[in-house]
Chains A and B, each alone.
Chain A
């Protein structure tokens, strides 16, 4: 509780006590009126002042004005009739309790959510003359050496120059498994160092570091308002004045009709009381507070799971997603090529691999790297001479004096060497040594461990169609699609084809169903921004993805796509629940008030009670761990 809230609580308690005391005091007439004014002013003086200022500034239709008119009216009615002032004071008292609760709940959830996102490092340890000095991360220049001790947050992005440790990345990725880090590894800010002391050479300034970017993104997320939020602020703008005019009409018209047309007593008191009840019901706070709070809680909860949503509007779109388009490499597959088989080798398999690795050693192509990786030993480049690269075919080189040709079937045809086709799917490297066929090596991209589960999770979350796009060959693409159970696959696409294809899909789908594109953000930025919603995966440290995508998944796990959709659905469900609940109850109470079935007490429930329930419901959006 802050100072303001404490003061308000004291006023609420004081006013409540005064009312109880007054209830048992047998005073009547003017003295009673004056005594009852004491708790009224104790609890409501600020509302009255605000209402007066509002009138002065020509901002009549606000809640304070409504409450002031309603309570003063109720007191005036009590003065002329039965002298029961409790109702007027109770209205003010409960209104203030509601306001107090709202400010307390919002403050509390604001703190909760910021705690969830508490990844901001407070200091960095700079080594100065052999001693550690705590410095503001903002002041550290690129290339400085900082020390991160066990238990501390990594304050800036950098490269480890000394030490080994395990890192807890859960604040960034939602992944609870710790990650190993050793000398030479890149490290990103926001991780928590768990075991060893690390010395890090910084590669980015604080402002450019991952942690600042993420914080900036999440903090600005709720500024991008969703359609429901726009609807609510518009609704509030027209609703309050409309209810005020309706209240005036309710106070004036029926008595006039009774008097002039029906010849009955006007019963001013009854109708004014009904009009006042109307005013109390009319406050739009329940809606105005709970909708942004739901979105804020949803975004906060998602970010704790390693899913960054860049705005409330994207949360809304995500909830309507029916089509999910994947890029293959890096999204459904690891994007890391591995030797998956060596066939028909005429020599020892190790030997064949060595020849292939040596022949390809001059190239930095991923294929060459995976060959070297599979070979596993240090390569002696001096054994290779006369490397001749034949673009689109492969290489021919002299290794230990033997002529080694390594490449695809085109190379074999070119050299007129009969080769054996492979039944396995992947990239095939045929080898010929001294003009004789020596076998082939299969290199394939590995499917991510959770990819299959992720696709079926999407299906059970109600996604109608899953589509895969890839630049890879048809046979590979179809094999992957079949293994994962995808509905549609388009292969051998250039980046520009992907944009075109997504555009065709966007045109073909029904207007309400949204299309999400999931990519790794490295070369699919145009598609990410073209789709209704772009989701970038494995974005830890990739600036391009954070820029281009609307939703950023911090780790590589495709399961998070279904989770993100579920979180958005839960959040939106809460938003709609609150809209229908709040508007529904208010309309019912307004109707009951107009026909005289609702008294002030019900009106207070319609205002404060609905608000409290809506706020509590909104906070539910924060709990998304087990979705």
Chain B
């Protein structure tokens, strides 16, 4: 399953870091962060529930970039 979320982040390098952090979150198969359109596309693994995975993703992103925001 794929979902797109709006995000808020200040710099392109931080967006790259968010992408990496999201990819390394359990339940996420793949993720693409698009800094130019401020959007994040997350592909979830089979059976993973976005409702439980996304808070994890946000927590992991916050670790690498403190003032980022994901709207889910």
Contacts and interface: CB of A to CB of B under 8 A. Distances in A.
Contact of A285 (B12, B34, B63, B66): B12
Contact of A288 (B13, B32, B41): B13
A285 B16 contact: no
A482 interface: no
B64 A63 contact: no
Contacts of A219: 37, 39
Interface residues of A, number: 29
Contacts of B12: 106, 285, 288-289, 292-293
B55 to A, nearest CB: 17
B64 A292 contact: no
Interface in B14-54: 16-17, 32, 34-39, 41
A98 B67 CA distance: 18
B37 A233 contact: no
Given A53-B66, A236-B16, A289 B36 contact: no
Interface string B56-71: 0000000110110000
B13 to A, nearest CB: 4
A103 B10 contact: yes
Interface in A71-109: 99, 102-103, 106
A59 B63 contact: yes
A59 B34 contact: no
Given A102-B11, A103-B10, A285-B11, A292 B35 contact: yes
Contacts of B16: 233, 236-237, 288
A57 B63 contact: yes
B10 A296 contact: no
Interface of A: 49-50, 53-54, 57, 59, 62-63, 99, 102-103, 106, 110, 113, 219-220, 222-223, 225, 233, 236-237, 284-285, 288-289, 292-293, 296
Contacts of B64: 57, 59
Contacts of B17: 59, 62
Nearest to B14: A62
- Of B11, B12, B39, most A-chain CB atoms within 10 Å: B12
B36 A222 contact: yes
Contacts, number: 58
A147 B36 CA distance: 35
Interface of B: 10-13, 16-17, 32, 34-39, 41, 63-64, 66-67
Nearest to B60: A57
Contacts of B32: 223, 225
A296 B66 contact: no
Given A63-B13, A103-B10, A292-B12, A50 B66 contact: yes
A110 B15 CA distance: 15
Contacts of B10: 99, 103
Given A57-B63, A57-B64, A284 B36 contact: no
A219 B4 CA distance: 11
Given A222-B37, A285-B13, 18 more contacts: A49-B66, A53-B66, A57-B63, A62-B13, A99-B11, A106-B36, A110-B36, A113-B36, A223-B32, A223-B41, A225-B32, A233-B16, A236-B16, A285-B11, A288-B13, A289-B12, A292-B12, A292-B35
Nearest to B19: A233
A214 to B, nearest CB: 14
Given A59-B64, A233-B16, A236-B16, A223 B11 contact: no
17 contacts: A49-B66, A59-B17, A59-B63, A59-B64, A62-B17, A99-B10, A99-B11, A103-B10, A110-B37, A220-B34, A222-B36, A225-B32, A285-B12, A289-B12, A293-B12, A293-B36, A296-B37
A222 B34 contact: yes
Nearest to A229: B16
Contacts of B34: 220, 222-223
A236 B64 CA distance: 15
Contacts of A237: 16
Given A50-B66, A57-B64, A59-B63, A288 B36 contact: no
A47 to B, nearest CB: 11
Contacts of B13: 62-63, 236, 284-285, 288-289
A582 to B, nearest CB: 13
Contacts of A288: 11-13, 16
A50 to B, nearest CB: 6
Nearest to A233: B16
B63 A292 contact: no
A603 B29 CA distance: 41
B67 to A, nearest CB: 8
Given A57-B64, A223-B32, A289 B11 contact: yes
B28 to A, nearest CB: 15
Given A50-B66, A53-B66, A57-B64, A292 B36 contact: yes
A292 B19 CA distance: 14
Contacts of B63: 57, 59
A348 B20 CA distance: 77
A53 B17 CA distance: 15
List 6 A-B pairs, minimum CB-CB distance, nearest first.
A296-B36, A288-B13, A57-B63, A289-B12, A288-B12, A223-B32
